[in-house]
């Protein structure tokens, strides 16, 4: 009988060949697979039955911990009630309710929401809205997009064009025209082993004035940055940097987009990084923690004036020719609403904030261990940068990743930087285990 085969879902597949795995060294993985078959709260269960402590909230998304009962129940009930309904010229209740909820959480006047299914789609949506918004206001000459070196904005053509990580761009041709980049904000010499936001680097925002002088501000639609650059290896914004970007964008009529796919939903102890930093952008892109990683969903939160700019012209004409089959999917909305309830009921953002100092102390205790050249942290995020093995970039961090997994802790690495971001239900013993295991692995590898 067709249905769910729990045996199949919990045992090693006979054939690993057909799945072309994303962002994975396929041949290396398939020779020695690391297979996860279950999860609860702070732990994964590996195919051999071992419990693995999740030091990364999956991929920065499972902020409330794994397989939480209220979210599971919401998904089960909604899929049985209304599995799918379109939102093109039709509607169903949950995306309206979720959008209102997100609008109350969002800073400033960001009170409208466009739904997508991933961070990448949220980013491409925000970039398209920015260009279309200026056009709707009679400024169709504003088409340029400004990203930042080392930025990560997903894998759509828009996202990789404004993104600034060359490995994620170079295979894919010329990308979007009319894109420029700010310099990244990291300097080992000026910032190594800073706790929290570095003092050095706010002046790097002034480079936006240089780009305005070069291109003329009237050609620039939007600037997009991650408040804390995550995927490139945890780059914390210098004090005053985001504030200065905000000032320059406002001065020149340029929209400021914060890509909060990682920093949203409690990673910095607030609903959004914008609130943490006290800087209100014109749009926020988010995904991941919005549904606790349970069901794919992304969203763009946008300011009222942006929405209003589209609400002109005849009422029978579609205002924005953009949308996905699954924009505002009922099951994803149910998961998101249950997730937001859980964050609030358990005060997970406040609870994790109370551990930020403990987390920072634990991260910085790795200073002085072999090959550790920097430790950076903010909120429930830490980056540990290792000196690359001569001629073998990434080998040292990959080795640490594999050894930690063997010892029962999931960490993440990008180049030679280890990134840590546990679920926000983590307690002190979990934090001790994450850094203790990583510390032992780094010492043993010396
Ligand atoms: C800041 C940022 N934007 C966009 C994305 C892309 O999200 P997704 O993988 O859901 O498309 C990510 C993913 O890590 C991200 O960190």
Ligand 1 contact, 377 CB (< 6 A): no
pLDDT at 60: 98
pLDDT at 2: 83
Q: Whole-angstrom Cα distance, residue 20 to residue 35?
A: 15
> Residue 176's CB: how many other CB atoms inside 10 A?
16
Please work out whether the CB of residue 118 comes within 6 Å of at least one atom of ligand 1: yes
Q: Using the CB atoms, write b or e for 118-127: b if 16+ within 10 Å.
A: bbbbbbbbbb
Query: Is 163's C-beta closer than 6 angstroms to any atom of ligand 1?
Result: no
CB 224 within 8 Å of CB 151: yes
What percentage of the chain's residues is helix, strand, coil (to nearest 5)?
40, 15, 40
C-alpha of residue 370 to centroid of ligand 1, in Å = 31
* Percentage of the chain lying above the pLDDT 90 cut: 99
User: Cα torsion for 38, 44, 45, 47, to the nearest 10°?
Assistant: 80
Q: What residues form DSSP beta bridges with 38?
A: 45
| DSSP one-letter code for 387 | P
Is the distance from the beta carbon of residue 286 to the nearest atom of ligand 1 less than 6 Å?
no
Give the pLDDT confidence score for residue 446 in this predicted structure: 80
Q: How close is the Cα of 155 to the center of ligand 1, in Å?
A: 8
Can you tell me the distance from the alpha carbon of 266 to that of 269, in angstroms, rounded to the nearest whole number?
4
CA 38 to CA 402: how far, in whole Å?
A: 19
Residue 411 Cβ inside 6 Å of ligand 1? The answer reads no
Whether 374 lines ligand 1, by a CB cut-off of 6 Å, is no
Q: Using a 6 Å cutoff on CB, does residue 116 contact ligand 1? A: no
Give the residue, out of 261, 262, 297, with the most ligand 1 atoms within 8 A of its beta carbon, to mutate for a pocket test. 261
Ranges for all domains in the chain classified under CATH 3.90.1150.10: 6-64+349-445
Q: Which of 119, 124, 126, 157 to mutate to test the pocket of ligand 1 (most atoms within 8 A of CB)?
A: 119
CATH number of 72-345: 3.40.640.10
Residue nearest to atom 7 of ligand 1 (CA): 119
Q: Is the CB of 152 under 6 A from ligand 1?
A: yes
- Predicted confidence pLDDT, tens digits, the chain (446 residues): 689 999 999 999 999 999 999 999 999 999 999 999 999 999 999 999 999 999 999 999 999 999 999 999 999 999 999 999 999 999 999 999 999 999 999 999 999 999 999 999 999 999 999 999 999 999 999 999 999 999 999 999 999 999 999 999 999 999 999 999 999 999 999 999 999 999 999 999 999 999 999 999 999 999 999 999 999 999 999 999 999 999 999 999 999 999 999 999 999 999 999 999 999 999 999 999 999 999 999 999 999 999 999 999 999 999 999 999 999 999 999 999 999 999 999 999 999 999 999 999 999 999 999 999 999 999 999 999 999 999 999 999 999 999 999 999 999 999 999 999 999 999 999 999 999 999 999 999 98
In terms of DSSP bridges, do strands 298-303 and 381-386 run parallel, antiparallel, or are they unpaired?
Answer: unpaired
Atom of ligand 1 nearest to the CA of 118: 10
Q: In this structure, which residue's CA is closest to atom 12 in ligand 1? A: 154
Q: What is the pLDDT of residues 250-303, one digit of tens each?
A: 999 999 999 999 999 999 999 999 999 999 999 999 999 999 999 999 999 999
Ligand 1 pocket member 226 (CB < 6 A): yes
Structural tokens at position 409: 């802790």
Q: List every span in the chain annotated with CATH 3.40.640.10.
A: 72-345
Q: How many residues does the chain have?
A: 446
pLDDT at 297: 99
Q: Which fold has domain 6-64+349-445?
A: 3.90.1150
Q: Closest ligand 1 atom to the C-alpha of 59?
A: 14
Q: Which atom of ligand 1 is nearest to the CA of 151?
A: 1
> What is the Cα–Cα distance from 174 to 166, expressed in whole angstroms?
12
> Distance between CA 339 and CA 292 in Å, rounded?
6
Q: What is the predicted pLDDT for the residue at 45?
A: 98
**What pLDDT is stored for residue 78 in this prediction?**
98
Decide if 285 contacts 110 (C-beta within 8 A). Answer: no
């Amino acid at each position: 009988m067709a249905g769910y085969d729990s045996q199949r879902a919990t045992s090693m597949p006979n054939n690993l060949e057909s799945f072309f795995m994303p962002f994975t060294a396929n041949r290396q993985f398939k020779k020695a697979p690391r297979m996860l078959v279950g999860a609860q709260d702070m732990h994964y269960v590996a195919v051999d039955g071992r419990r693995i402590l999740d030091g990364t909230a999956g991929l920065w998304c499972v902020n409330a911990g794994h397989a939480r009962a209220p979210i599971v129940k919401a998904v089960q009930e909604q899929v049985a009630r209304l599995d799918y309904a379109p939102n093109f010229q039709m509607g169903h209740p949950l995306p309206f309710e979720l959008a209102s909820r997100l609008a109350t959480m969002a800073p400033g006047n960001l009170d409208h929401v466009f739904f997508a299914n991933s961070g990448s789609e949220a980013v491409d949506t925000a970039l398209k809205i920015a260009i279309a918004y200026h056009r709707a206001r009679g400024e169709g000459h504003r088409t340029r997009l400004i990203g930042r070196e080392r930025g990560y904005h997903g894998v759509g053509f828009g996202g990789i064009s404004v993104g600034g990580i060359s490995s994620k761009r170079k295979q894919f041709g010329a990308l979007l025209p009319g894109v420029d980049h700010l310099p990244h904000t990291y300097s080992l010499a000026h910032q190594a082993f800073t706790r929290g936001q570095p003092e050095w680097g706010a002046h790097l925002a002034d480079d936006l004035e240089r780009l305005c002088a070069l291109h003329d501000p009237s050609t620039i639609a939007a600037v997009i940055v991650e408040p804390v650059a995550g995927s490139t290896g945890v780059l914390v914004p210098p004090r005053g940097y985001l504030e200065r970007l905000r000032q320059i964008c406002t001065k020149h009529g340029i929209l400021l987009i914060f890509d909060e796919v990682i920093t949203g939903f409690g990673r910095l102890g607030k609903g959004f990084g914008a609130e943490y930093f006290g800087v209100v952008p014109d749009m926020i892109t988010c995904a991941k923690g919005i549904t606790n990683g349970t069901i794919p969903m992304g969203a763009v939160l946008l300011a009222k004036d942006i929405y209003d700019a589209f609400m002109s012209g005849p009422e029978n004409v579609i205002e924005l020719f953009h949308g996905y089959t699954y924009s505002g999917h009922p099951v994803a909305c149910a998961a998101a609403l249950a997730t937001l309830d859980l964050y609030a009921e358990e005060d997970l953002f406040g609870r994790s904030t109370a551990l930020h100092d403990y987390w920072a102390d634990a991260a910085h205790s790795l200073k002085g261990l072999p090959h550790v050249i920097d430790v950076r942290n903010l909120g429930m995020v830490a980056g540990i940068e290792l000196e690359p093995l001569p001629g073998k970039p990434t080998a040292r961090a990959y080795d640490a990743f594999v050894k930690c997994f063997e010892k029962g802790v999931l960490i993440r690495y990008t180049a030679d930087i280890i990134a840590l971001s546990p679920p926000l239900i983590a307690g002190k013993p979990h934090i001790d285990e994450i850094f203790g295991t990583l510390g032992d692995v780094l010492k043993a590898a010396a």
